[in-house]
Amino acid sequence: MAGRLLGLLATLPLLCLGALAVALVAWPLLVLVLLLDLLWWPVARATRRRLPLLPRDARAASIVTVSWNGKHFLQVLLPSLRAEVLRDGGDHQVVVVDNGSTDGTVEWLAREHPWVEVVALPENRYFVRGNRAGVAACTRDVLVFLNNDMEVKPGFLTPLLEGLREPAVFAVAAEVFFRDPARRREETGRTRGDVEGGWLKLAHVDPSVDERQLPFVPTLWAGGGSAAFCRRMYDALGGFDTLYDPFYLEDMGLSYQAWRRGWSVLFTARSAVVHEHRGTSRKAFGDDYVDNVIRRNQHLFLWRNVTDPVRTAKVLALLPLSTLARARRPARSLLAGLRFELRAFARALPRLPQALWKRCASRRHYALCDGRALAAANSIAAHRAIQGTDLGTLDVPGIGGRRILVLSARLPRLQHDGSWVLFRRLEVMARRHRVTLFAFLDDAQQDAAAAPLRALGITVLTAVRERNPLPGNLHHGVPARIFRDYSAPAMRAAVRRALEGTDHDLVQVEYLEMAHLVASLPRWAPRVYVCHESLTVAAARDGAMRRGALARVRAAFRTAQAARFERRVVDRFDRVIALSAVDAAALERLLPRRRVAVIPSGVVVDGLPVHAAAAAAPTIAFVGYYKHTPNVDAAQWLVREILPLVRAEVPDARVRLIGRDAPAAVAALQGDGAVEVAGFVPDLARELADATVVALPLRGGGGLRGKLLEAFAAACPVVATPIACEGVDVVDGRHCLVAADARTFAQALVRLLRDRALRRELGAAANALVRERYSVDATALAFERVHVDLLQGRVFA
């Protein structure tokens, strides 16, 4: 550790000098580019041009592949391509560009594959200029570019051509697989990217379930070695740009220019190729040179293409810092990484004038700004909203079915915690709509618990929750627990990927933790936030239980922070649903112009064990998920203050604490035969039915108490605090007994323990109430009305 620190200190002056060198170029360049953009803007406006969208003959393609000493690759590619051309049956042309090979490729092609047209170049012009030479020999309306180290799979060609039948589609990319199935998929064909932190972040992503099932989805760029392009649009854009010569990012630059013009670049999983990644470039140049050219071309791409003023300013102003950040490369020292970055930057500078000239010349053709172009390329929903193009949608069951994406902070499970409320709602929703659920897990093994949801026809996507590695939050703008457990960049990226990769009409977000992750992400479909518990209400109630002036001051400060945070997050949603009237009132105070719908949770009322009026021994049951702090407080209050009062009247009364994840403070309550910490039980309904009385001594928290509905569904007699009854319209003495302090609560328990007839009467009335107003079908229908109103642009009552 000390050695690494000394090494870092020794290289610090060199790092600072490197960053200073970049700044001395980047910051004057920033002024130059912004001034150039400002002066050129009126010229671009005055000379604006749009290429008319004309039909093209998508039945025939010119297929181009560039090869340099790659006869062994062509021996795999050409037979598979020949079979595919014959299978499709179109009038296709195959062109092989030989880049001055010395392995006898030209003679071999003439002898073994006379059906191939050969463009023999006297020298190696590499990928960009080699492909340009091949295009010059092409005669069809569609261009298909294939790397020579590919093998096309059966059915490769037809889907690409089908996608190009739409006049606004510029290119269609195939899915890419590596020949070694165990290798990490660095290349898939489904691409995304953005300009983040002043730098270009690009990635191939594994196609999601929806991206595989839809015929076509947007993609940021179509690979120059596995995609089909409209020839007319390709020529209008100038083809693969020699700015990026000899290779890499030429396809990204071409595709991005198409997006900026308002055209679409699509991906289809129905077409596929197998790739020997870097089979030619690694052999010719080595990985280090290739990687450095890629970095050089990333600079050139940003200078040539990104024109939004804010993004441009970030790219150039932050260049010294982003250079240092990228210098930390795997398997390299910091100093070696800095040399790598400076070499790439220096290689890019001689091409700066060409990049700036093309930057200006292209602006008159743009229909979309950078932000909208990137959004349309990355997200299915954004593409539909921006381009107004229906790429085909996934079928949904039932008449009027919708595609609903549900984002949850935790995986809903039965017999586990309060998330059974969401499980039941999803169960009903999936009968009529196509539901996709994204949820976080505590560990990867927990994904097996999603099997019951998948059995209902719900598509379940998961990611593992991570601890936030970033410092900050000194002023607690985000509550400490949420900042630690629900703010990691990887978690936000996973949520963003779920939003981008699913076909949905609306997004429903469950729990404030997930709402926090979603709030800052771009919104392209209506969003509903379901408040399971108001953070402001919970903080205020926690503060009310504090003792001492200093503790109350700290609690008041935390409540104010919670209110500020909750207001900021909730305001980013189109509709808000609260599970209780108390939480709804708190949210409406935070956002006075917002109407909050109150929809209590629903419970299954049929098929449950019915409460037995007589129990073997007077047993008081309490159910709680003990990672929720108010449940810990309730268990302690019940055992330490209420139970002694009860046992003074009913000496053999005992308490059974049910629920998982009991901390040491709860485990310590067990003793003397009067208290049993049962932990997790496999059949909660049976436990409730077998108890004499169910106690709900909750003093904190918010939201609707699912445990009350569970007890009512089993016709159990209940003693509860007023807080425990929130969200359910109970009448004291008719549906349950309500008590606010320890003595009154104990008296109510004693009364029920002694009165069998009253237990039966309360249980029957409670069960009737649940059946009438709180069944899962009734509450799911209320959610349905909110969805319909939102999608039709109405304000709900």
**Three-class DSSP category at 756:** helix
Per-residue confidence (pLDDT) for residue 397, from 0 to 100: 52
Cα 373 to Cα 256: distance, rounded to the nearest angstrom:
8
Mean pLDDT of 296-320: 92
Q: State yes or no: pLDDT of 338 exceeds 70.
A: yes
What are 381's two structure tokens? 């929903």
Asked which of 67-81, 153-167, 319-333 is least confident by mean pLDDT, the reply is 319-333
Domain containing 742 — which CATH number? 3.40.50.2000
Per-residue confidence (pLDDT) for residue 120, from 0 to 100: 94
| CB of 57 closer than 8 Å to CB of 358 | no
Residue 434 lies in a domain: yes
Residue 177 lies in a domain: yes
Residue 88 lies in a domain: yes
Residue 396 lies in a domain: no
Q: Are residues 563 and 626 in the same domain?
A: no
6-11, long-range: CB within 8 Å, 24+ apart, which pairs? 7/333, 8/334, 11/333, 11/334, 11/335
Pairing relation of β-strands 61-67 and 142-147? parallel
Cα 28 to Cα 9: distance, rounded to the nearest angstrom:
29
Per-residue confidence (pLDDT) for residue 62, from 0 to 100: 96
DSSP 796: P
Per-residue confidence band for 12, with pLDDT thresholds at 50, 70 and 90: low
Asked which of 113-122, 519-528, 701-710 is least confident by mean pLDDT, the reply is 701-710
Q: What is the per-residue pLDDT across 356-369, written as a single tens digit (0 to 9) for each?
A: 999 999 999 999 99
**Domain C-terminal end among 564, 598, 632:** 598
Per-residue confidence (pLDDT) for residue 623, from 0 to 100: 86
**Domain C-terminal end among 598, 632, 656:** 598
**Three-class DSSP category at 410:** coil
Angle value at C-alpha 295, between 269 and 345, nearest 5 degrees:
160
Q: Are residues 668 and 722 in the same domain?
A: yes
**Domain C-terminal end among 598, 631, 666:** 598
Per-residue confidence band for 281, with pLDDT thresholds at 50, 70 and 90: low
- Number of structural domains in the chain: 3
Q: What is the per-residue pLDDT across 410-463, written as a single tens digit (0 to 9) for each?
A: 999 887 777 878 888 899 899 889 999 999 999 999 999 999 999 999 999 999
Per-residue confidence band for 211, with pLDDT thresholds at 50, 70 and 90: very high
What pTM did the predictor assign?
0.85
**Which of the pair, 287 or 575, is modelled with greater confidence?**
575
Per-residue confidence (pLDDT) for residue 550, from 0 to 100: 79
Residue 764 lies in a domain: yes
Residue 792 lies in a domain: no
Mean pLDDT of 771-780: 84
Per-residue confidence (pLDDT) for residue 387, from 0 to 100: 84
User: With pLDDT > 70 as the criterion, what percentage of the chain qualifies?
Assistant: 92
Q: Are residues 206 and 113 in the same domain?
A: yes
Domain containing 254 — which CATH number? 3.90.550.10
**Which of the pair, 605 or 73, is modelled with greater confidence?**
73
Residue 574 lies in a domain: yes
Q: Are residues 588 and 648 in the same domain?
A: no
Q: Are residues 674 and 576 in the same domain?
A: no
Please report how the helices 380-387 and 370-378 are oriented relative to each other, as an axis angle in degrees rounded to 10. Answer: 130
Q: Are residues 252 and 185 in the same domain?
A: yes
Q: Are residues 423 and 540 in the same domain?
A: yes
Per-residue confidence (pLDDT) for residue 551, from 0 to 100: 74
Asked which of 59-68, 367-376, 534-543 is least confident by mean pLDDT, the reply is 534-543
Q: State yes or no: pLDDT of 672 exceeds 80.
A: no
Evaluated on CA atoms 262, 267, 270, 276, the torsion sign reads: positive
Q: Are residues 581 and 695 in the same domain?
A: no
Query: Which backbone phi and psi does 699 adopt, to 5 degrees?
Result: -120, -10
Residue 577, phi-psi category: left (phi > 0), alpha (psi -120 to 50), beta (remainder)? beta
Per-residue confidence (pLDDT) for residue 51, from 0 to 100: 82
What's the per-residue H, E or C state across 25-70?
HHHHHHHHHHHHHHHHHHHHHHCCCCCCCCCCCCCCEEEEEEECCC
Q: Are residues 192 and 131 in the same domain?
A: yes
Domain that includes residue 443, residue range: 403-598
Q: State yes or no: pLDDT of 752 exceeds 60.
A: yes
Angle value at C-alpha 13, between 7 and 15, nearest 5 degrees:
85
Cα 349 to Cα 352: distance, rounded to the nearest angstrom:
5
Q: State yes or no: pLDDT of 254 exceeds 90.
A: yes
Q: Compute, in degrees rounded to 10, the torsion defined by CA atoms 142, 146, 152, 156.
A: -20
Per-residue confidence (pLDDT) for residue 63, from 0 to 100: 96
Q: Compute, in degrees rounded to 10, the torsion defined by CA atoms 161, 167, 169, 170.
A: 90
**Three-class DSSP category at 374:** helix
Q: Are residues 644 and 523 in the same domain?
A: no
Per-residue confidence (pLDDT) for residue 399, from 0 to 100: 43
Alpha helices (H) in 138-226, listed in sequence order: 157-163, 209-213
Q: State yes or no: pLDDT of 389 exceeds 70.
A: no
What Cα–Cα distance (Å) separates residue 366 from each residue in 50, 266, 390, 607?
8, 19, 22, 62
Residue 308 lies in a domain: no
Pairing relation of β-strands 142-147 and 226-230? antiparallel
441-446, long-range: CB within 8 Å, 24+ apart, which pairs? 441/410, 441/411, 441/465, 446/411
Q: What is the per-residue pLDDT across 132-145, written as a single tens digit (0 to 9) for each?
A: 999 999 999 999 99
Q: State yes or no: pLDDT of 794 exceeds 60.
A: no
Residue 227, phi-psi category: left (phi > 0), alpha (psi -120 to 50), beta (remainder)? beta
| CB of 404 closer than 8 Å to CB of 506 | yes
Per-residue confidence (pLDDT) for residue 282, from 0 to 100: 57
Per-residue confidence (pLDDT) for residue 612, from 0 to 100: 60
Q: What is the per-residue pLDDT across 257-280, written as a single tens digit (0 to 9) for each?
A: 999 999 999 999 999 999 986 555
Cα 424 to Cα 438: distance, rounded to the nearest angstrom:
16
Domain containing 516 — which CATH number? 3.40.50.11720
Q: Are residues 549 and 672 in the same domain?
A: no
Cβ atoms within 10 A of the Cβ of 178, count?
16
Query: Which backbone phi and psi does 578 adopt, to 5 degrees?
Result: -110, 150
Per-residue confidence band for 796, with pLDDT thresholds at 50, 70 and 90: very low
Per-residue confidence (pLDDT) for residue 396, from 0 to 100: 53
- In one letter, which amino acid is 145? F
Mean pLDDT of 232-247: 94
Q: Are residues 436 and 535 in the same domain?
A: yes
Task: Share the mean pLDDT of the chain.
Answer: 87
Per-residue confidence (pLDDT) for residue 587, from 0 to 100: 93
- In one letter, which amino acid is 708? L
Mean pLDDT of 38-48: 82
